[in-house]
Copies of this chain bind each other. A is one copy, B any other.
Amino acid sequence: MRVLSNEDVEQLLSMADCIAVHEEMYRDYADGQALLVPRIDNLSPTGEAGAYYAFKQMGGAWPRKGVQALRINSDIITQPVIDGRPRRVKQPKANGRWVGLVFVFSSETGALLAIFPDGVMQRLRVGAANGIAMKHLAREDARSLALIGSGWQAGGQLLAALSVRAIERVRVHSTRSESRSAFVREARLRHPELDIRATDSAEECVEGADVIMAATSSMVRVLEPGWLKSGVHISCIKSQEVDQQLLDRCDRIVVHISAQPKQYNNVMPGTANVGKEGGTGWWNAPGNRFAEYPDLAQLVAGRAAARSSPDEITCFVNNIGIGLQFAAAGALVLEKAEAAGLGHSLPDDWFSETVHP
């Protein structure tokens, strides 16, 4: 049994590799050759006033690679008001650290093969999904990117865009000016060939962009329908960043997973503040068109059409993550870690038994 670190995963897994293995997995999922284990968020009280405990689980089996993945998050969540708006904040209460873990099992022997933190892979797989969608939906000649958001996920989205299109110009906007400046400084160091700068408004950011990527923690729409010009591709990492009105301005919409619009919430009665987080939005509001949209697996497998003209406005909504992404990236990381001899090796007998369970 191998214990890997975020640093190991970062060293082993490039965005390009991640996109390639995810495309293979989505194709299998479209063909009924991979099993999605739904995401369930289990919410219960914790000791801290106003906070709650969220235990999130998602999984997936990918027989082609002989793996079953399980990804869990074990978070203490608060909802402080920041800049006048309630935010959902995961508190690093485990000795100043967060707890998100991926477990990879063999579906050939049952053995637990690996455990590693989810953070680096989590960003890569979100990026990979949006990158794959962009590959099929954005114009081939897209050169300019508008990025709304400048946090950890925004970096993954930028990497994904650069992996699938010859992006030359990037504009970045987020509500916190220090954050966007820092993001731009770092991106210039990493990608000196890019023309990249921050903008003071979201509207200025999207002006002239071939591709708009939202990568925020916003609970409300971050784009105005009137800003969309013909031929643009829109990408977002959560459903709340868009709404039905904005989607109705688009010609072609693809969601990440059509089988599960959002997680199932399993809530202990009396758990503080959970209600505020919602679970409702355009995707389950009356008159929504969620059920009409094909999903990424169908797009990758050619069962849903890609962009069909340069003028179309296209949109990809990364509505929810799936454990199968961790099966795909996990199988690849494990293969590479074994070849490189990376990680801490623990006795397999600690994680198996002679007692018939």
Which A residues are within 8 Å of any B CB, using their own CB? Answer: 3, 5-6, 32-35, 37-38, 40, 42-47, 53, 55, 57, 59, 61, 63, 66, 68, 70, 72-76, 90, 92-95, 97-101, 103, 105-112, 115, 117-120, 122-123, 152, 266-270, 344, 346, 348-357
Contact between A61 and B268, CB atoms less than 8 A apart: yes
Contact status A111-B94, CB under 8 Å: yes
Taken together as a complex, chains A and B put the C-alpha atoms of A110 and B93 apart, in Å, by 7
Closest to A35 in B: B268
Of all chain B residues, the one with the shortest Cβ separation from A95 is B348
Considering only CB atoms, which chain B residue lies closest to A264 in the complex?
Answer: B38
With a cutoff of 8 Å between Cβ atoms, the chain B residues found around residue A97 in the complex are 348-349, 352-354
- Do residues B68 and A107 form an inter-chain contact, with CB atoms below 8 A? no
Known: A40-B37, A74-B68, A107-B46. A355 touches B98 (CB 8 A): yes
- Contact, CB under 8 Å: B74 / A46: no
Q: Which among B37, B90, B99 is the interface contact of A266 at CB below 8 angstroms?
A: B37
A42-B59, A55-B61, A59-B57 as given contacts; A76 in contact with B109, CB under 8 Å: yes
Q: Which residues from chain B contact A349 at a C-beta distance below 8 Å?
A: 95, 97
Identify which of B37, B38, B98, B352 contacts A99 (C-beta below 8 A). B352
Known: A112-B101, A115-B351, A353-B119. Is A68-B55 also a contact (CB below 8 A)?
Answer: yes
Bound-complex Cα distance A35 to B93 (A): 21
**For residue A267, which residues in chain B have a CB less than 8 angstroms away from its CB?**
35
B110 touches A98 (CB 8 A): yes
Task: Decide: A119 near B357, CB < 8 A? Known: A76-B109, A111-B95.
Answer: yes
* CB-CB under 8 A for A110 and B270, given A120-B355, A349-B97, A352-B94: no
Q: How far is the CA of A123 from the CA of B138 in the complex (A)?
A: 56
A219 and B94 alpha carbons, distance in the complex (Å): 45
A-B CB contact pairs (8 Å), 16 listed? A6-B353, A37-B55, A37-B266, A42-B59, A46-B107, A53-B68, A55-B68, A74-B107, A94-B109, A94-B352, A95-B348, A98-B356, A99-B105, A99-B112, A99-B357, A118-B357
User: Which of A105, A117, A120, A353 is packed against the most chain B CB atoms within 10 Å?
Assistant: A353
Contact assessment for A44 and B63 in the assembled complex, using a CB-CB cutoff below 8 Å? yes
* B55 & A44 in contact (Cβ 8 Å cutoff): no
User: Which of A3, A34, A55, A267 is packed against the most chain B CB atoms within 10 Å?
Assistant: A55
For A122, the closest partner residue in chain B by CB is B357
Minimum Cβ distance to chain B for residue A217 (Å): 10
Q: Which chain B residue shows the least CB distance to A349?
A: B97
18 further A-B contacts with Cβ under 8 Å, apart from A6-B354, A55-B68, are A32-B269, A35-B266, A37-B266, A44-B61, A46-B107, A55-B105, A74-B105, A74-B112, A93-B108, A97-B348, A98-B355, A99-B357, A115-B351, A117-B353, A119-B356, A123-B355, A344-B350, A346-B346
Given contacts A99-B111, A101-B112, A353-B99, contact A53 B61 (CB under 8 A): yes
What CA separation (Å) do A6 and B349 show in the bound complex? 11
Q: How far is the CA of A323 from the CA of B207 in the complex (A)?
A: 52
